[in-house]
Amino acid sequence: MEPTNPSKAAVAQPPEATTSPELLISNLLRYGVLSSLVLVALGMLLTFAHHPDYFSSGEALQRLTAPEHTPHQLGDVMEGVKTARGRAFVMMGLLVMMAIPVLRVAVSLHVFRLQRDRAFVTLTSVVLVLLMLSFLLGRAELG
């Protein structure tokens, strides 16, 4: 009888089966941060391309950073993206960055449901509800 080699048994199992949830979450974080970075960089490029005076004028640069010129509503951000406004792209990048942790929790909840892990489903559900509640309360504070 031939002795079994534990390393061969591990090789026979496809790596996707054991690391799929981890890879999914890793890719979500990686590509989410990358897309946020691209949006912010694109927004900065558009802003300075449309307003080259920001490079040389302190007064113009103060107008750029004034809160009243920044889109505060999601509709304003979307409208600004449609019209290629740099500030809207920057804001969209920041919104994507804020959404990544929430999506990570939602993906984890789905994974725990598939694994039928009741304790982690409960805990992750509470975390997701608290995150959503904080967004709603923050929205009420702005309004």
- Residue 96 belongs to some domain of the structure: yes
Dist. CA 61–CA 46, nearest whole Å: 14
The domain in which residue 58 lies consists of 21-142
pTM of the model: 0.74
The yes-or-no verdict on residue 105 having pLDDT over 70 is: yes
The yes-or-no verdict on residue 108 having pLDDT over 90 is: yes
Q: Hunting for tokens 């949830």 — which residue is that?
A: 21
- Residue 2 belongs to some domain of the structure: no
Number of domains observed in the structure of the chain: 1
Q: How confident is the model at residue 143 (pLDDT cuts 50, 70, 90)?
A: very low
- Residue 12 belongs to some domain of the structure: no
- Residue 16 belongs to some domain of the structure: no
What separation, in Å, do the N-terminal and C-terminal C-alpha atoms of the chain show?
Answer: 75
CA atoms within 13 A on the CB side of 26: 5
